């Protein structure tokens, strides 16, 4: 059973998410919160698999709470999915660096919300390549630097190729097809890169690809 906490300052949205999630046989909502501090209390008590986190909340917003969840070793297994209004969110870069596992827009289709919860637990990317590109285009202007060789020194040439494709939003299957590898081999490369770069998840690999100049 995948355990979910819903954090949003609007009770109606929390109720809608709860109804949707609890309708799935393998998902259950184990807690709700309406503020940043409250969600930290709920997460520490319930230890959920996924938190659906709103950004704009009182008493410590969703970004503040995400930073503290990601920094707590005891909560390493908790995956935070930011749920926001894409057009208004100027804090994407901060959330990615804070350790958010991905993003959804609040008007997303119900089936995509359910899929995002399951995908987060699996450690995969939460956005399609097209949406990932739109998202990163908003925040990458300040990340366009010469390639930072020092941060990438531990990677082989093949691993750099894989990281570049991860940064472009490709799935393991798409990476395998482009590099003539099996999806399993591509997944193995991604796992090794995460270990070498001390990345919490795949989304942080995307950030690294942009920050180091590997993707521009």
- Boundary of a domain, candidates 126, 161, 191: 126
| CA triple 13-46-43, angle to 5 deg | 60
Shared domain check, 27 and 69: yes
Range of the domain at 196: 143-211
Count of the separate structural domains present in the chain: 2
Q: Report pLDDT for 31.
A: 98
Q: What is the CATH number of the domain that holds 43?
A: 3.40.50.2300
Give the model confidence (pLDDT) of 134-186 as tens digits: 555 555 555 455 677 788 999 999 999 999 999 887 888 899 999 999 999 99
> Does some domain include residue 136?
no
Q: What is the CATH number of the domain that holds 206?
A: 1.10.10.10
> Does some domain include residue 192?
yes
Give the model confidence (pLDDT) of 173-211 as tens digits: 899 999 999 999 999 999 999 999 988 778 788 878 887
Q: Are 207 and 97 spatial neighbours (Cβ–Cβ below 8 Å)?
A: yes
> Does some domain include residue 137?
no
């Amino acid at each position: 059973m995948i355990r979910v906490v819903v954090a949003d300052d609007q009770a109606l949205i929390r109720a809608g998410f709860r109804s949707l999630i609890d309708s799935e046989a393998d998902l259950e909502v184990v807690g709700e919160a309406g503020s940043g501090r409250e969600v930290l209390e709920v997460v520490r008590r319930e230890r959920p698999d996924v938190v659906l986190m709103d950004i704009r909340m009182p008493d410590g917003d969703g970004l503040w709470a995400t930073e503290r969840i990601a920094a707590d070793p005891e909560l390493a297994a908790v995956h935070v999915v930011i749920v926001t209004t894409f057009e208004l969110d100027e804090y994407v870069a901060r959330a990615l660096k804070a350790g958010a596992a991905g993003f959804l827009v609040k008007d997303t289709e119900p089936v995509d919300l359910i899929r995002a919860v399951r995908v987060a637990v699996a450690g995969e990317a939460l956005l399609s390549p097209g949406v990932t590109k739109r998202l990163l285009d908003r925040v990458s202007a300040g990340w366009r630097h010469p390639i930072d060789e020092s941060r990438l020194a531990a990677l082989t040439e093949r691993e750099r190729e894989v990281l570049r494709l991860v940064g472009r939003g490709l799935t393991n299957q798409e990476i395998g097809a482009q590099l003539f590898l099996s999806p399993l081999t591509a997944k193995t490369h991604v796992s090794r890169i995460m270990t070498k770069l001390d990345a919490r998840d795949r989304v942080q690999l995307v950030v690294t690809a942009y920050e180091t100049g590997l993707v521009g």
